[in-house]
Structure 1
Amino acid sequence: MSRIAVVTDTNSGITREEAKKLGVFLLSMPFIVDGKEYFEGVTCTYEQFFDMLAAGSDVSTSQPAPEDLTALWDTILQNYDSIVHIPMSSALSGSCGTAKALAADYNGRVCVVDNKRISLSQRESVLDALTLIKKGLTAAEICVQLEETAYNSSIYLAVNTLELLKKSGRVTAAGAALATLLGLKPVLQIQGEKLDAYAKVRGMAAAEKTMLKAIEKDMQTRFAGKPVHIAVAYSGDIRPALEWRKTVRSYFGDSHIELYKLPISICCHVGAGVKAIACYEYFE
Protein backbone atom coordinates (compact mmCIF):
# COMPACT_ATOMS: atom_id res chain seq x y z
CA MET A 1 0.00 0.00 0.00
CA SER A 2 1.32 3.44 -0.92
CA ARG A 3 2.04 5.98 1.79
CA ILE A 4 -0.25 9.03 1.53
CA ALA A 5 0.34 12.25 3.46
CA VAL A 6 -2.40 14.75 4.26
CA VAL A 7 -1.51 18.44 4.15
CA THR A 8 -3.76 21.31 5.20
CA ASP A 9 -3.35 24.88 6.41
CA THR A 10 -4.25 26.81 9.54
CA ASN A 11 -7.43 28.04 7.86
CA SER A 12 -8.78 24.67 9.01
CA GLY A 13 -8.42 25.76 12.63
CA ILE A 14 -6.12 22.82 13.26
CA THR A 15 -3.22 23.76 15.53
CA ARG A 16 0.33 22.49 15.25
CA GLU A 17 -0.21 20.31 18.30
CA GLU A 18 -3.38 18.80 16.83
CA ALA A 19 -1.68 18.23 13.47
CA LYS A 20 1.08 16.28 15.18
CA LYS A 21 -1.45 14.07 17.00
CA LEU A 22 -3.42 13.47 13.81
CA GLY A 23 -0.31 12.78 11.76
CA VAL A 24 -1.03 15.51 9.21
CA PHE A 25 1.21 18.27 7.89
CA LEU A 26 0.24 21.88 8.58
CA LEU A 27 1.00 25.00 6.55
CA SER A 28 0.82 28.19 8.61
CA MET A 29 -1.13 30.90 6.80
CA PRO A 30 0.34 34.40 6.67
CA PHE A 31 -1.54 37.55 7.68
CA ILE A 32 -0.58 41.20 7.84
CA VAL A 33 -0.75 43.47 10.89
CA ASP A 34 0.20 47.11 10.38
CA GLY A 35 2.25 46.17 7.33
CA LYS A 36 4.17 43.34 9.01
CA GLU A 37 3.73 39.71 8.00
CA TYR A 38 3.00 37.08 10.64
CA PHE A 39 2.34 33.34 10.49
CA GLU A 40 -0.47 31.84 12.53
CA GLY A 41 0.81 29.67 15.35
CA VAL A 42 4.45 30.34 14.49
CA THR A 43 5.30 34.03 14.84
CA CYS A 44 2.02 35.13 16.42
CA THR A 45 -0.29 33.45 18.89
CA TYR A 46 -4.07 33.70 18.89
CA GLU A 47 -3.97 35.87 22.00
CA GLN A 48 -1.33 38.22 20.55
CA PHE A 49 -3.42 38.71 17.42
CA PHE A 50 -6.46 39.82 19.39
CA ASP A 51 -4.35 42.10 21.57
CA MET A 52 -3.14 43.84 18.41
CA LEU A 53 -6.67 43.94 17.01
CA ALA A 54 -8.00 45.49 20.24
CA ALA A 55 -5.24 48.12 20.04
CA GLY A 56 -6.60 49.26 16.68
CA SER A 57 -4.05 47.62 14.38
CA ASP A 58 -4.82 47.30 10.69
CA VAL A 59 -5.16 43.62 9.71
CA SER A 60 -5.48 41.76 6.42
CA THR A 61 -4.87 38.30 4.98
CA SER A 62 -2.31 36.96 2.53
CA GLN A 63 -1.33 33.77 0.68
CA PRO A 64 1.60 31.45 1.41
CA ALA A 65 4.64 31.99 -0.78
CA PRO A 66 4.74 29.36 -3.56
CA GLU A 67 8.27 28.36 -2.58
CA ASP A 68 7.13 27.67 1.00
CA LEU A 69 4.43 25.33 -0.26
CA THR A 70 6.64 23.44 -2.71
CA ALA A 71 9.41 23.16 -0.10
CA LEU A 72 6.93 21.49 2.26
CA TRP A 73 5.74 19.11 -0.46
CA ASP A 74 9.31 18.24 -1.48
CA THR A 75 10.22 17.39 2.10
CA ILE A 76 7.13 15.23 2.57
CA LEU A 77 7.63 13.35 -0.69
CA GLN A 78 11.01 12.12 0.52
CA ASN A 79 9.08 9.76 2.80
CA TYR A 80 5.63 9.49 1.19
CA ASP A 81 4.42 8.36 -2.21
CA SER A 82 1.72 11.01 -2.64
CA ILE A 83 0.01 13.97 -0.97
CA VAL A 84 -3.60 15.00 -0.48
CA HIS A 85 -3.45 18.78 -0.03
CA ILE A 86 -6.58 20.39 1.49
CA PRO A 87 -6.52 24.21 1.36
CA MET A 88 -9.37 26.63 1.98
CA SER A 89 -12.10 27.13 -0.63
CA SER A 90 -11.04 28.56 -3.98
CA ALA A 91 -14.00 30.95 -3.68
CA LEU A 92 -12.49 32.56 -0.58
CA SER A 93 -8.80 32.70 -1.50
CA GLY A 94 -6.45 32.33 -4.43
CA SER A 95 -4.28 29.90 -2.45
CA CYS A 96 -6.19 26.87 -3.77
CA GLY A 97 -5.68 27.92 -7.40
CA THR A 98 -2.00 28.55 -6.74
CA ALA A 99 -1.62 25.11 -5.16
CA LYS A 100 -3.34 23.42 -8.10
CA ALA A 101 -1.03 25.19 -10.56
CA LEU A 102 2.06 24.17 -8.59
CA ALA A 103 0.85 20.58 -8.25
CA ALA A 104 0.85 20.22 -12.05
CA ASP A 105 4.64 19.83 -11.87
CA TYR A 106 4.47 16.84 -9.51
CA ASN A 107 3.30 14.18 -12.00
CA GLY A 108 0.18 13.28 -10.02
CA ARG A 109 1.96 12.83 -6.70
CA VAL A 110 0.23 15.93 -5.25
CA CYS A 111 -3.57 16.05 -5.41
CA VAL A 112 -5.08 19.40 -4.40
CA VAL A 113 -8.65 19.26 -3.10
CA ASP A 114 -10.98 22.17 -3.87
CA ASN A 115 -13.87 21.17 -1.67
CA LYS A 116 -15.22 24.67 -0.99
CA ARG A 117 -14.57 24.65 2.74
CA ILE A 118 -12.92 26.61 5.51
CA SER A 119 -12.56 26.41 9.29
CA LEU A 120 -14.81 23.76 10.89
CA SER A 121 -15.83 22.12 7.63
CA GLN A 122 -12.25 22.15 6.30
CA ARG A 123 -11.17 20.43 9.52
CA GLU A 124 -13.73 17.70 8.84
CA SER A 125 -12.32 17.24 5.33
CA VAL A 126 -8.91 16.50 6.87
CA LEU A 127 -10.46 13.88 9.15
CA ASP A 128 -12.38 12.42 6.20
CA ALA A 129 -9.16 12.15 4.21
CA LEU A 130 -7.54 10.18 7.02
CA THR A 131 -10.57 7.86 7.13
CA LEU A 132 -10.40 7.28 3.37
CA ILE A 133 -6.67 6.52 3.56
CA LYS A 134 -7.45 3.77 6.06
CA LYS A 135 -10.04 2.40 3.62
CA GLY A 136 -7.29 2.01 1.02
CA LEU A 137 -8.21 4.77 -1.43
CA THR A 138 -5.50 6.42 -3.50
CA ALA A 139 -4.73 10.14 -3.22
CA ALA A 140 -6.55 10.81 -6.51
CA GLU A 141 -9.60 8.85 -5.35
CA ILE A 142 -9.66 10.74 -2.05
CA CYS A 143 -9.56 14.04 -3.92
CA VAL A 144 -12.56 12.99 -6.01
CA GLN A 145 -14.51 11.87 -2.92
CA LEU A 146 -13.87 15.12 -1.04
CA GLU A 147 -14.80 17.30 -3.99
CA GLU A 148 -17.98 15.30 -4.65
CA THR A 149 -19.08 15.93 -1.04
CA ALA A 150 -17.89 19.55 -0.98
CA TYR A 151 -21.32 21.05 -0.37
CA ASN A 152 -22.37 18.61 2.36
CA SER A 153 -21.73 21.16 5.09
CA SER A 154 -23.17 24.32 6.59
CA ILE A 155 -21.58 27.05 8.70
CA TYR A 156 -23.42 29.95 10.35
CA LEU A 157 -21.71 32.70 12.28
CA ALA A 158 -22.92 35.71 14.22
CA VAL A 159 -20.63 38.71 13.97
CA ASN A 160 -20.23 41.02 16.95
CA THR A 161 -18.96 43.99 14.94
CA LEU A 162 -19.25 45.10 11.33
CA GLU A 163 -16.12 47.26 11.30
CA LEU A 164 -13.79 44.75 9.65
CA LEU A 165 -16.45 43.65 7.19
CA LYS A 166 -16.87 47.32 6.30
CA LYS A 167 -13.13 47.64 5.68
CA SER A 168 -13.15 44.60 3.41
CA GLY A 169 -16.05 46.04 1.41
CA ARG A 170 -18.58 43.36 2.37
CA VAL A 171 -20.84 45.96 3.97
CA THR A 172 -21.15 49.69 3.34
CA ALA A 173 -20.09 52.26 5.92
CA ALA A 174 -23.68 53.53 6.12
CA GLY A 175 -25.00 50.00 6.58
CA ALA A 176 -22.48 49.29 9.31
CA ALA A 177 -23.32 52.52 11.13
CA LEU A 178 -27.07 51.84 10.95
CA ALA A 179 -26.67 48.25 12.14
CA THR A 180 -24.54 49.40 15.07
CA LEU A 181 -27.08 52.07 15.99
CA LEU A 182 -29.93 49.56 15.94
CA GLY A 183 -27.95 46.87 17.74
CA LEU A 184 -28.27 44.49 14.80
CA LYS A 185 -26.12 41.37 14.60
CA PRO A 186 -25.56 39.94 11.12
CA VAL A 187 -25.75 36.17 10.81
CA LEU A 188 -23.56 34.99 7.94
CA GLN A 189 -23.45 31.61 6.23
CA ILE A 190 -21.08 29.43 4.24
CA GLN A 191 -22.96 26.77 2.29
CA GLY A 192 -19.92 25.94 0.24
CA GLU A 193 -17.84 28.59 -1.49
CA LYS A 194 -18.56 32.17 -0.44
CA LEU A 195 -19.45 33.93 2.78
CA ASP A 196 -23.00 35.25 2.38
CA ALA A 197 -25.55 37.12 4.47
CA TYR A 198 -28.19 34.93 6.09
CA ALA A 199 -30.12 37.22 8.48
CA LYS A 200 -29.94 40.40 10.53
CA VAL A 201 -31.36 40.24 14.03
CA ARG A 202 -31.39 42.46 17.10
CA GLY A 203 -28.81 41.29 19.64
CA MET A 204 -26.60 38.24 20.06
CA ALA A 205 -29.28 36.19 21.85
CA ALA A 206 -31.53 36.43 18.79
CA ALA A 207 -28.56 35.60 16.56
CA GLU A 208 -27.91 32.43 18.55
CA LYS A 209 -31.54 31.33 18.17
CA THR A 210 -31.41 32.05 14.44
CA MET A 211 -28.30 29.89 14.00
CA LEU A 212 -29.73 27.02 16.05
CA LYS A 213 -32.90 26.97 13.97
CA ALA A 214 -30.90 27.18 10.73
CA ILE A 215 -28.80 24.15 11.64
CA GLU A 216 -31.89 22.27 12.83
CA LYS A 217 -33.57 22.94 9.49
CA ASP A 218 -30.50 21.77 7.57
CA MET A 219 -30.43 18.54 9.57
CA GLN A 220 -34.09 17.92 8.81
CA THR A 221 -33.73 18.65 5.08
CA ARG A 222 -30.27 18.66 3.46
CA PHE A 223 -28.76 16.13 5.88
CA ALA A 224 -31.82 14.02 6.68
CA GLY A 225 -30.81 10.41 7.26
CA LYS A 226 -27.10 11.12 6.87
CA PRO A 227 -24.30 10.82 9.45
CA VAL A 228 -23.46 14.34 10.60
CA HIS A 229 -21.34 16.13 13.16
CA ILE A 230 -22.15 19.45 14.82
CA ALA A 231 -19.39 21.72 16.10
CA VAL A 232 -19.17 25.28 17.41
CA ALA A 233 -16.48 27.92 17.14
CA TYR A 234 -15.58 31.36 18.43
CA SER A 235 -13.15 34.25 18.11
CA GLY A 236 -11.46 36.14 20.94
CA ASP A 237 -12.59 35.53 24.51
CA ILE A 238 -13.41 31.89 25.22
CA ARG A 239 -15.75 32.57 28.16
CA PRO A 240 -18.91 33.50 26.20
CA ALA A 241 -17.99 30.75 23.75
CA LEU A 242 -18.17 28.15 26.51
CA GLU A 243 -21.72 29.33 27.25
CA TRP A 244 -22.49 29.08 23.53
CA ARG A 245 -21.30 25.47 23.45
CA LYS A 246 -23.43 24.72 26.51
CA THR A 247 -26.48 26.20 24.75
CA VAL A 248 -25.85 24.18 21.58
CA ARG A 249 -25.28 20.94 23.49
CA SER A 250 -28.53 21.45 25.37
CA TYR A 251 -30.50 22.36 22.24
CA PHE A 252 -29.41 19.25 20.31
CA GLY A 253 -29.07 16.95 23.31
CA ASP A 254 -25.48 16.10 22.43
CA SER A 255 -22.78 16.42 25.07
CA HIS A 256 -20.04 15.57 22.56
CA ILE A 257 -20.32 18.80 20.53
CA GLU A 258 -16.85 20.37 20.56
CA LEU A 259 -15.68 23.99 20.60
CA TYR A 260 -12.90 25.31 18.33
CA LYS A 261 -11.19 28.62 17.62
CA LEU A 262 -11.94 30.34 14.32
CA PRO A 263 -8.70 30.69 12.35
CA ILE A 264 -7.01 34.08 12.28
CA SER A 265 -7.64 34.29 8.52
CA ILE A 266 -11.36 34.54 9.26
CA CYS A 267 -10.87 36.73 12.33
CA CYS A 268 -9.10 39.31 10.17
CA HIS A 269 -12.50 39.88 8.52
CA VAL A 270 -14.97 39.32 11.36
CA GLY A 271 -13.07 40.37 14.50
CA ALA A 272 -13.60 39.24 18.07
CA GLY A 273 -16.78 38.02 19.76
CA VAL A 274 -17.95 35.79 16.91
CA LYS A 275 -20.05 32.73 17.65
CA ALA A 276 -20.35 30.05 14.99
CA ILE A 277 -21.95 26.66 14.47
CA ALA A 278 -21.42 24.08 11.77
CA CYS A 279 -23.03 20.87 10.60
CA TYR A 280 -21.35 18.51 8.14
CA GLU A 281 -21.68 15.01 6.80
CA TYR A 282 -18.72 12.72 7.46
CA PHE A 283 -17.33 9.45 6.12
CA GLU A 284 -17.94 6.51 8.45
Structure 2
Amino acid sequence: MSKIKITCDSTADLSKGTLQKYNIDTVPLYIILEDETYKDSVDIQPDDIYAYAEKTGKLPKTAAVSVQNYIDLFSKYQDYDAIIHVNLGQQFSSSFQNAHLAAQEFKNVYVINSDNLSTGSGHIVLEAAELAEQGHDAKFIYEKLQELIPKIEASFVLDTLDYLKMGGRCSAIQAFGASLLNIKPCIEVIDGKMDVGKKYRGKIEKSIQKYVVDRLKNRDDIATDRVFITHSGCSEELINNVKQIVLEHQPFEEVLITRASCTISSHCGPNTLGVLFKTK
Protein backbone atom coordinates (compact mmCIF):
# COMPACT_ATOMS: atom_id res chain seq x y z
CA MET A 1 0.00 0.00 0.00
CA SER A 2 1.41 3.39 -1.02
CA LYS A 3 2.21 5.99 1.60
CA ILE A 4 1.21 9.31 0.02
CA LYS A 5 1.50 12.78 1.57
CA ILE A 6 -1.01 15.44 0.50
CA THR A 7 0.04 19.10 0.67
CA CYS A 8 -1.54 22.33 -0.58
CA ASP A 9 -1.29 26.12 -0.60
CA SER A 10 -2.93 28.11 2.23
CA THR A 11 -5.38 29.47 -0.36
CA ALA A 12 -7.28 26.14 -0.40
CA ASP A 13 -9.10 27.66 2.61
CA LEU A 14 -9.51 24.39 4.53
CA SER A 15 -10.21 24.57 8.27
CA LYS A 16 -7.61 23.46 10.81
CA GLY A 17 -9.89 20.57 11.82
CA THR A 18 -10.12 19.30 8.23
CA LEU A 19 -6.35 19.61 7.71
CA GLN A 20 -5.71 17.61 10.89
CA LYS A 21 -8.36 14.98 10.05
CA TYR A 22 -6.69 14.16 6.72
CA ASN A 23 -3.08 14.90 7.82
CA ILE A 24 -2.67 17.58 5.12
CA ASP A 25 0.20 20.07 5.32
CA THR A 26 -0.14 23.61 3.93
CA VAL A 27 2.36 26.19 2.77
CA PRO A 28 1.40 29.86 3.20
CA LEU A 29 1.40 32.57 0.56
CA TYR A 30 2.70 35.97 1.67
CA ILE A 31 0.97 39.21 2.59
CA ILE A 32 3.04 42.41 2.38
CA LEU A 33 1.91 45.43 4.43
CA GLU A 34 4.12 48.49 3.96
CA ASP A 35 7.60 46.92 4.31
CA GLU A 36 6.59 43.97 6.48
CA THR A 37 6.03 40.46 5.09
CA TYR A 38 3.64 38.08 6.83
CA LYS A 39 2.70 34.44 6.29
CA ASP A 40 -0.95 34.12 5.26
CA SER A 41 -3.16 32.98 8.19
CA VAL A 42 -0.04 32.31 10.31
CA ASP A 43 1.25 35.80 11.24
CA ILE A 44 -1.76 37.74 9.95
CA GLN A 45 -5.53 37.21 9.74
CA PRO A 46 -8.16 38.59 7.29
CA ASP A 47 -9.55 41.08 9.83
CA ASP A 48 -6.08 42.68 10.06
CA ILE A 49 -6.26 43.29 6.30
CA TYR A 50 -9.71 44.88 6.51
CA ALA A 51 -8.50 47.18 9.31
CA TYR A 52 -5.45 48.18 7.23
CA ALA A 53 -7.56 48.82 4.10
CA GLU A 54 -10.04 50.93 6.06
CA LYS A 55 -7.29 52.98 7.69
CA THR A 56 -5.11 53.54 4.59
CA GLY A 57 -7.47 53.06 1.61
CA LYS A 58 -4.84 50.62 0.31
CA LEU A 59 -4.62 46.87 0.00
CA PRO A 60 -1.65 44.80 1.03
CA LYS A 61 0.26 43.09 -1.74
CA THR A 62 0.20 39.31 -1.96
CA ALA A 63 3.17 37.20 -3.00
CA ALA A 64 3.53 33.63 -4.20
CA VAL A 65 5.20 30.79 -2.34
CA SER A 66 8.86 30.74 -3.37
CA VAL A 67 10.67 27.82 -5.00
CA GLN A 68 12.76 27.44 -1.84
CA ASN A 69 9.64 27.30 0.36
CA TYR A 70 8.36 24.43 -1.78
CA ILE A 71 11.72 22.65 -1.66
CA ASP A 72 11.62 22.94 2.15
CA LEU A 73 8.06 21.55 2.23
CA PHE A 74 8.77 18.60 -0.08
CA SER A 75 12.03 17.79 1.74
CA LYS A 76 10.09 17.14 4.96
CA TYR A 77 8.21 14.21 3.43
CA GLN A 78 10.88 12.25 1.62
CA ASP A 79 10.06 9.19 3.75
CA TYR A 80 6.75 8.97 1.85
CA ASP A 81 6.40 7.06 -1.44
CA ALA A 82 5.10 10.27 -3.05
CA ILE A 83 3.89 13.79 -2.35
CA ILE A 84 0.89 15.24 -4.16
CA HIS A 85 0.75 19.03 -3.93
CA VAL A 86 -2.39 20.93 -4.97
CA ASN A 87 -1.79 24.53 -6.06
CA LEU A 88 -3.80 27.68 -6.37
CA GLY A 89 -4.74 28.01 -10.08
CA GLN A 90 -1.87 28.92 -12.35
CA GLN A 91 -3.70 32.02 -13.72
CA PHE A 92 -4.00 33.51 -10.21
CA SER A 93 -0.44 33.17 -8.95
CA SER A 94 3.06 32.05 -9.87
CA SER A 95 2.90 29.57 -6.96
CA PHE A 96 2.13 26.69 -9.36
CA GLN A 97 5.15 27.55 -11.52
CA ASN A 98 7.36 27.71 -8.41
CA ALA A 99 6.05 24.39 -7.07
CA HIS A 100 6.64 22.82 -10.48
CA LEU A 101 10.26 24.06 -10.48
CA ALA A 102 10.79 22.81 -6.92
CA ALA A 103 9.38 19.39 -7.83
CA GLN A 104 12.19 18.94 -10.39
CA GLU A 105 14.55 18.51 -7.42
CA PHE A 106 12.71 15.35 -6.33
CA LYS A 107 11.68 12.06 -7.91
CA ASN A 108 8.41 11.61 -6.01
CA VAL A 109 6.52 14.95 -6.15
CA TYR A 110 3.38 15.44 -8.24
CA VAL A 111 2.20 19.03 -8.61
CA ILE A 112 -1.44 19.74 -9.49
CA ASN A 113 -2.65 23.01 -11.02
CA SER A 114 -6.13 23.17 -9.49
CA ASP A 115 -7.22 25.83 -12.01
CA ASN A 116 -9.18 27.19 -9.08
CA LEU A 117 -8.99 29.12 -5.83
CA SER A 118 -10.26 28.89 -2.26
CA THR A 119 -12.28 25.74 -1.57
CA GLY A 120 -12.56 25.13 -5.33
CA SER A 121 -8.97 23.92 -4.78
CA GLY A 122 -10.04 22.55 -1.38
CA HIS A 123 -12.33 20.01 -3.06
CA ILE A 124 -9.38 18.68 -5.05
CA VAL A 125 -7.20 18.50 -1.93
CA LEU A 126 -9.80 16.47 0.00
CA GLU A 127 -10.40 14.15 -2.93
CA ALA A 128 -6.64 13.53 -3.07
CA ALA A 129 -6.56 12.83 0.68
CA GLU A 130 -9.44 10.34 0.45
CA LEU A 131 -7.85 8.51 -2.48
CA ALA A 132 -4.54 8.37 -0.58
CA GLU A 133 -6.35 6.93 2.48
CA GLN A 134 -7.83 4.23 0.24
CA GLY A 135 -4.27 3.17 -0.63
CA HIS A 136 -4.12 4.24 -4.29
CA ASP A 137 -0.75 5.05 -5.79
CA ALA A 138 0.33 8.57 -6.79
CA LYS A 139 -0.12 8.10 -10.54
CA PHE A 140 -3.72 6.89 -10.09
CA ILE A 141 -4.52 9.82 -7.74
CA TYR A 142 -2.91 12.34 -10.09
CA GLU A 143 -5.00 11.09 -13.04
CA LYS A 144 -8.24 11.07 -11.00
CA LEU A 145 -7.62 14.66 -9.90
CA GLN A 146 -7.06 15.78 -13.50
CA GLU A 147 -10.51 14.35 -14.33
CA LEU A 148 -12.05 16.15 -11.34
CA ILE A 149 -10.62 19.64 -11.97
CA PRO A 150 -13.12 20.63 -14.74
CA LYS A 151 -16.02 19.38 -12.59
CA ILE A 152 -15.50 21.89 -9.78
CA GLU A 153 -18.09 24.66 -9.69
CA ALA A 154 -16.73 27.64 -7.76
CA SER A 155 -18.49 30.98 -7.43
CA PHE A 156 -19.13 33.66 -4.84
CA VAL A 157 -21.04 36.91 -4.35
CA LEU A 158 -19.23 40.13 -3.46
CA ASP A 159 -20.69 42.75 -1.15
CA THR A 160 -18.35 45.48 -2.38
CA LEU A 161 -16.13 46.10 -5.40
CA ASP A 162 -13.85 48.38 -3.36
CA TYR A 163 -11.26 45.64 -2.83
CA LEU A 164 -11.17 44.73 -6.52
CA LYS A 165 -10.80 48.45 -7.24
CA MET A 166 -7.93 48.86 -4.72
CA GLY A 167 -6.29 45.78 -6.24
CA GLY A 168 -6.61 47.23 -9.75
CA ARG A 169 -9.03 44.52 -10.89
CA CYS A 170 -11.90 46.90 -11.67
CA SER A 171 -12.13 50.64 -12.27
CA ALA A 172 -13.25 53.28 -9.77
CA ILE A 173 -16.20 54.00 -12.07
CA GLN A 174 -17.33 50.35 -12.05
CA ALA A 175 -17.01 50.20 -8.25
CA PHE A 176 -18.90 53.48 -7.82
CA GLY A 177 -21.65 52.35 -10.22
CA ALA A 178 -22.10 49.04 -8.40
CA SER A 179 -22.26 50.83 -5.05
CA LEU A 180 -24.76 53.40 -6.33
CA LEU A 181 -27.06 50.75 -7.81
CA ASN A 182 -26.50 48.37 -4.87
CA ILE A 183 -25.25 45.66 -7.23
CA LYS A 184 -23.71 42.49 -5.77
CA PRO A 185 -21.94 40.62 -8.58
CA CYS A 186 -21.47 36.86 -8.68
CA ILE A 187 -17.91 35.95 -9.62
CA GLU A 188 -17.42 32.53 -11.22
CA VAL A 189 -14.24 30.57 -11.85
CA ILE A 190 -14.39 29.30 -15.44
CA ASP A 191 -11.45 27.57 -17.15
CA GLY A 192 -9.10 28.76 -14.45
CA LYS A 193 -10.09 32.44 -14.73
CA MET A 194 -12.49 34.70 -12.85
CA ASP A 195 -15.53 35.90 -14.74
CA VAL A 196 -18.56 38.01 -13.77
CA GLY A 197 -21.80 36.02 -13.74
CA LYS A 198 -25.23 37.15 -12.62
CA LYS A 199 -25.57 40.52 -10.88
CA TYR A 200 -27.84 40.74 -7.83
CA ARG A 201 -29.41 43.91 -6.46
CA GLY A 202 -30.21 44.80 -2.88
CA LYS A 203 -28.76 43.96 0.49
CA ILE A 204 -25.99 41.39 0.64
CA GLU A 205 -28.04 38.93 2.75
CA LYS A 206 -30.89 38.82 0.21
CA SER A 207 -28.46 38.72 -2.73
CA ILE A 208 -26.62 35.74 -1.24
CA GLN A 209 -29.88 33.88 -0.57
CA LYS A 210 -31.00 34.39 -4.21
CA TYR A 211 -27.57 33.32 -5.47
CA VAL A 212 -27.63 30.05 -3.47
CA VAL A 213 -31.07 29.15 -4.86
CA ASP A 214 -29.91 30.01 -8.41
CA ARG A 215 -26.87 27.77 -8.03
CA LEU A 216 -28.61 24.71 -6.62
CA LYS A 217 -32.32 24.65 -7.47
CA ASN A 218 -33.66 21.90 -9.75
CA ARG A 219 -30.24 20.54 -10.70
CA ASP A 220 -29.52 16.84 -11.06
CA ASP A 221 -25.90 17.20 -12.23
CA ILE A 222 -24.47 17.99 -8.78
CA ALA A 223 -22.35 15.47 -6.83
CA THR A 224 -23.92 15.60 -3.38
CA ASP A 225 -21.14 14.07 -1.27
CA ARG A 226 -19.73 17.44 -0.16
CA VAL A 227 -20.28 21.18 -0.41
CA PHE A 228 -18.27 24.09 0.95
CA ILE A 229 -19.83 27.29 2.22
CA THR A 230 -16.83 29.61 2.24
CA HIS A 231 -17.02 33.20 3.41
CA SER A 232 -14.77 36.15 4.16
CA GLY A 233 -16.32 37.18 7.48
CA CYS A 234 -20.12 36.90 7.21
CA SER A 235 -22.46 36.82 10.21
CA GLU A 236 -23.23 33.52 11.94
CA GLU A 237 -26.91 34.12 11.21
CA LEU A 238 -26.36 34.48 7.45
CA ILE A 239 -24.11 31.39 7.32
CA ASN A 240 -26.70 29.26 9.14
CA ASN A 241 -29.40 30.60 6.85
CA VAL A 242 -27.30 29.71 3.77
CA LYS A 243 -26.71 26.19 5.14
CA GLN A 244 -30.46 25.72 5.51
CA ILE A 245 -31.13 26.90 1.93
CA VAL A 246 -28.34 24.67 0.59
CA LEU A 247 -29.87 21.58 2.22
CA GLU A 248 -33.39 22.51 1.10
CA HIS A 249 -32.25 22.32 -2.53
CA GLN A 250 -29.62 19.54 -2.55
CA PRO A 251 -29.14 16.51 -0.23
CA PHE A 252 -25.44 17.10 0.51
CA GLU A 253 -23.96 14.51 2.86
CA GLU A 254 -21.32 16.88 4.21
CA VAL A 255 -21.52 20.67 4.52
CA LEU A 256 -18.15 22.24 5.36
CA ILE A 257 -18.13 25.88 6.46
CA THR A 258 -14.76 27.60 6.07
CA ARG A 259 -13.40 31.11 6.30
CA ALA A 260 -11.33 32.46 3.41
CA SER A 261 -7.60 33.01 3.92
CA CYS A 262 -5.93 36.44 3.82
CA THR A 263 -4.91 36.11 0.16
CA ILE A 264 -8.47 35.39 -0.98
CA SER A 265 -10.03 37.94 1.44
CA SER A 266 -7.73 40.74 0.30
CA HIS A 267 -9.11 40.42 -3.25
CA CYS A 268 -12.79 39.98 -2.44
CA GLY A 269 -13.27 42.03 0.76
CA PRO A 270 -15.57 41.32 3.72
CA ASN A 271 -19.06 39.75 3.48
CA THR A 272 -18.26 37.65 0.42
CA LEU A 273 -19.80 34.18 0.38
CA GLY A 274 -19.74 31.26 -2.03
CA VAL A 275 -21.11 27.72 -2.32
CA LEU A 276 -18.58 25.45 -4.00
CA PHE A 277 -19.30 21.90 -5.12
CA LYS A 278 -18.56 19.26 -7.73
CA THR A 279 -20.66 18.21 -10.69
CA LYS A 280 -21.14 14.57 -11.70
Structure 1 residue ranges (4+ consecutive) displaced by more than 6 angstroms after TM superposition: none
Range with bigger deviation, 68-77 or 114-123: 114-123
Partner Cα distance (1:34, 1:164) in 2: 17
Shift of 1:100: 1.1
Q: Between Structure 1 and Structure 2, how many residues are aligned?
A: 276
Match of 1:165 in 2: 164
Shift of 1:40: 2.0
Match of 2:50 in 1: 50
Partner Cα distance (1:227, 1:241) in 2: 19
**1:198 matches 2:197:** yes
Which residue identity does 1:199 align to in structure 2?
Answer: K
Q: State the SS of the aligned residue for 1:113.
A: strand
Match of 2:11 in 1: 11
Shift of 1:67: 1.1
Out of 251, 255, 258, the residue aligned to residue 256 of structure 2 is 258
Q: State the SS of the aligned residue for 1:20.
A: helix
Shift of 1:148: 1.9
Which residue identity does 2:261 align to in structure 1?
Answer: P
Shift of 1:23: 0.8
User: TM-score, structure 2 length as denominator?
Assistant: 0.88
Contact 1:229 1:281 in 2 (8 A): no
Match of 1:186 in 2: 185
Shift of 1:232: 1.1
Partner Cα distance (1:258, 1:179) in 2: 30
Which residue identity does 2:69 align to in structure 1?
Answer: D
| Aligned pairs (5 A) from 1:228-247 | 228-239=225-236, 240-247=238-245
Contact 2:13 2:259 in 1 (8 A): yes
Q: For the aligned residues, what is the CA RMSD?
A: 2.3
Partner Cα distance (1:85, 1:184) in 2: 37
Match of 1:73 in 2: 74
Range with bigger deviation, 175-184 or 233-242: 233-242
Shift of 1:17: 4.9
User: After superposition, what is the alpha-carbon deviation per residue over 1:242-282, rounded to whole angstroms, capped at 9, x for unaligned?
Assistant: 33333333444658533211222111111001121112158
* Change beyond 3 A, Cα 1:83–1:276: same
* Change beyond 3 A, Cα 1:55–1:281: same
* Change beyond 3 A, Cα 1:53–1:18: farther
Unaligned runs of 5+ in 1: none
Contact 1:158 1:208 in 2 (8 A): no
Which residue identity does 2:128 align to in structure 1?
Answer: A
Contact 2:188 2:196 in 1 (8 A): yes
Q: State the SS of the aligned residue for 2:188.
A: strand
Partner Cα distance (1:46, 1:184) in 2: 24
User: After superposition, what is the alpha-carbon deviation per residue over 1:193-222, rounded to whole angstroms, capped at 9, x for unaligned?
Assistant: 1111002221231353134213336x43xx
